[in-house]
Amino acid sequence: MQKIKIEENKKIECSNQIVLFDNPSNIMISLIKDNDIYLPLLKKGDYVYQEEKIALRKYDHFPIFSTVSGIIEFIDNEKIIIKNDLKNRVKEYSIVEYPLTNYHKQDVCRLLFELGVRNIGNEDLEPYQKLTSNGIYKTLIINVLREDAYFYIELFQLKMERKQILEIIDFFIDIYNFEEVLIVVPNNEELLVEELAFLTRESRIKIIAMEEYYSLAHPRKLILQLKKIKYYQNSIEKGIVVFNVSTLLSIYYSLKYQRPQIKMLVQFTGNMWKKNCYMEVRIGTCLKEVMKKLEFKRAKEIILLKGSLMSGKNCDLENTIINVNTEFYSAWQAKEVYEEESCIRCGRCAKVCPIGLNPALIMKRYLKKKNLFRFGIEFCIECGLCSYVCPSNILVHKYVEEAKEIIE
């Protein structure tokens, strides 16, 4: 792996129009998610309806649904591939709208589980785990800060669907009795801040306008900044629930229509797409099908990332599948590629780490296969700052992330 530099791209912006990509030829559903195994309910050659349950998590039967109708073309222990017949056939079609006010806490948790509602865009507890019927809830934080450079999708969705967002927040206040709700938005969005403040006057919702700096959007950092509270594994230990806008909308529509989510909004950014855009796409669509639509420019030294420049993870041009873990892809052409040199023990990586880790020491121990416990590796937020500042061009964060995988 090498460190790269790209052209200055300060002007990259996303068009505010949503491009639709509704007819993938296949969809692929992974049967291994976050180290959990899912067992298929159907076999090769079976016909499957859109929104039909196709697999269940082995230990608790948390479901996965098909996002198209068609024939199961391939199935093994790792994935299911469904050939889309482009008919969008649904077994039981219903357009009933359920008022949120009819639900009790128990219904919310049960429905989020039964409809397989997942977090969008970040690795965290699933919504049904955060919104249990017996938790103690103090603060709800809606995080609209940018996770990385050129990441606009959360802000875009808040602007597009503010009514729905405020409706579900009001509902959560009613049934979970949150003491306060903080909607955290970048402070340069003055109009939005003013409008939200007006809409939420005389309620428990506070609009917090914050100056953004990189890595602040991470829940651990944000909670420390806002509430001066540290937590061990998840913020619900402290009665704090954090959602991004995409997950909140996913919960809203699932409860409102009692149907599983089959599509999601994804942002494509970088200097290698002809169009930088938001795209509505079926979950399970292959990235290469989308790329054709976006007129991807082929060139040498292309870096394709799930995410963006600081925290993005390299992904494979041919085999990447769009799923709820990633709502942002970026593609860049490298201007310069730097070779990795030896660590000079300058300490910059430790100085910059927002969590206070010593990345160089972790890297050294990882490479020497030494004991990795007691170094706080599990708290790494994978921000990439240690690699960014390293004068020896070492991708230090990759070593820390690999070490984290071992201890987890």
Residues interacting with ligand SF4, by CB under 6 A? 343-349, 353-355, 357, 359-360, 380-386, 389-392, 394, 396-397, 400
Measured from the CB atom, the residue of 300 and 368 that comes closer to ligand SF4 is 368
Q: How far is the CB of 122 from ligand SF4 (least distance, A)?
A: 15
Q: How far is the CB of 216 from ligand SF4 (least distance, A)?
A: 13
By the 10 Å C-beta count (0-12 exposed, 13-18 middle, 19+ buried), 135 is classed as middle
Measured from the CB atom, the residue of 17 and 233 that comes closer to ligand SF4 is 233
Q: How far is the CB of 342 from ligand SF4 (least distance, A)?
A: 8
Q: How far is the CB of 362 from ligand SF4 (least distance, A)?
A: 7
* H helix runs in 203-334, sequence order: 219-227, 245-257, 287-293
Identify the H or E element spanning 362. Answer: helix 359-367
Q: How far is the CB of 322 from ligand SF4 (least distance, A)?
A: 25
Here the contacts of 131-137 (C-beta below 8 Å, separation 24 or greater) are: 131/105, 131/172, 131/176, 131/241, 131/251, 132/105, 133/104, 133/105, 133/106, 133/108, 133/109, 135/176, 135/236, 135/239, 136/239, 137/176, 137/177, 137/178, 137/239, 137/241
Q: What backbone torsions phi and psi does residue 221 show, to the nearest 5 degrees?
A: -75, -45
Measured from the CB atom, the residue of 118 and 404 that comes closer to ligand SF4 is 404
Q: What backbone torsions phi and psi does residue 102 show, to the nearest 5 degrees?
A: -75, -15
Measured from the CB atom, the residue of 328 and 366 that comes closer to ligand SF4 is 366
Measured from the CB atom, the residue of 149 and 208 that comes closer to ligand SF4 is 149
401 and 381 Cβ atoms separated by less than 8 Å: no
By the 10 Å C-beta count (0-12 exposed, 13-18 middle, 19+ buried), 121 is classed as buried
Task: Please give the Cα distance from 201 to 206 (Å, whole number).
Answer: 8
Identify the H or E element spanning 404. Answer: helix 396-407
Grouping H, G, I as helix, E, B as strand and the rest as coil, residue 233 is coil
Q: How far is the CB of 379 from ligand SF4 (least distance, A)?
A: 7
Identify the H or E element spanning 40. Answer: strand 36-40
Task: Please give the Cα distance from 40 to 58 (Å, whole number).
Answer: 10
Measured from the CB atom, the residue of 257 and 388 that comes closer to ligand SF4 is 388
Task: Please give the Cα distance from 382 to 400 (Å, whole number).
Answer: 8
Strands 139-143 and 180-186: parallel
Measured from the CB atom, the residue of 66 and 235 that comes closer to ligand SF4 is 235
Measured from the CB atom, the residue of 29 and 310 that comes closer to ligand SF4 is 310
Task: Please give the Cα distance from 386 to 270 (Å, whole number).
Answer: 23
340 and 391 Cβ atoms separated by less than 8 Å: no
Q: How far is the CB of 331 from ligand SF4 (least distance, A)?
A: 22
Task: Please give the Cα distance from 183 to 245 (Å, whole number).
Answer: 10
Measured from the CB atom, the residue of 391 and 407 that comes closer to ligand SF4 is 391
Q: How far is the CB of 1 from ligand SF4 (least distance, A)?
A: 14
Measured from the CB atom, the residue of 52 and 147 that comes closer to ligand SF4 is 147
Q: How far is the CB of 231 from ligand SF4 (least distance, A)?
A: 16
281 and 322 Cβ atoms separated by less than 8 Å: yes
Task: Please give the Cα distance from 272 to 266 (Å, whole number).
Answer: 16
Q: How far is the CB of 4 from ligand SF4 (least distance, A)?
A: 16
